[in-house]
Amino acid sequence: MPRAGLNPTAVVDAALTVLDEAGVDGLTLAAVAAHAGVATPSLYKHVKGLGALRDLVGVRVLDELAARCEQAAMGRSADEALAAVLHAYRQYAREHPHRYAALPQQPADDPELVRAGDRAVSVFLAVLRGYGLAGADAIHVTRGLRAAAHGFVLLEIGGGFGLPEKLDDSYRILIDTLTAGLHELPMPI
């Protein structure tokens, strides 16, 4: 019989707490069970195993990130929307570095992970419509934007920027460079 109050959502909540406190390597079924106050085998009533739990965590984190970016883009267009989304993206990673590090980076077989990933990508695609980009052109640009933002935040949260210049200034320059580049793209690409 499952413990009262323990369900897949509560298990993911516990996993996020463990992830926030112990990092990606600390996210184990035993750690989640200990946090939830149950024996490890009790988790199997709610998740199929560590891989399934990591997928559920990935869905939650992608949805959180997408919601943050959607909110940032709301009521804005083109350069203003792109800057707001990229700042929201960075801020999420800075506030939740271990969650960000746990994001799945390869295509998934799990339909919920696919849905959550599509939601995150759709924010960029919506912003890029403000530049007249759609279809394959928008996908190519989205990949570049994601690579730039992802690379910057991974270096930042990993302590990879050691020079004294302000990271906020560096990120603003990155955004300015990206937006300037979008205005120089031939249409269609």
At 106, is the pLDDT very low, low, confident or very high (cuts 50, 70, 90)? confident
Contact 33, 40 (CB under 8 A): yes
Domains 1-47 and 54-184 share a fold: no
pLDDT digits (tens, 9 = 90+) for 61-72: 999 999 999 999
Structural tokens at position 4: 């009262």
Predicted pLDDT at 108: 73
The pLDDT assigned to 3 comes to 53
CATH of domain 1-47: 1.10.10.60
Q: What is the pLDDT of residue 16?
A: 98
Map out the domains of the chain as residue ranges: 1-47, 54-184
User: Does residue 118 surpass a pLDDT of 60?
Assistant: yes
Homologous superfamily of 54-184 in CATH? Tetracycline Repressor, domain 2 (1.10.357.10)
Residues 4-41 pLDDT 10s: 578 999 999 999 999 999 999 999 999 999 999 999 99
Per cent of the chain over pLDDT 90 is 90
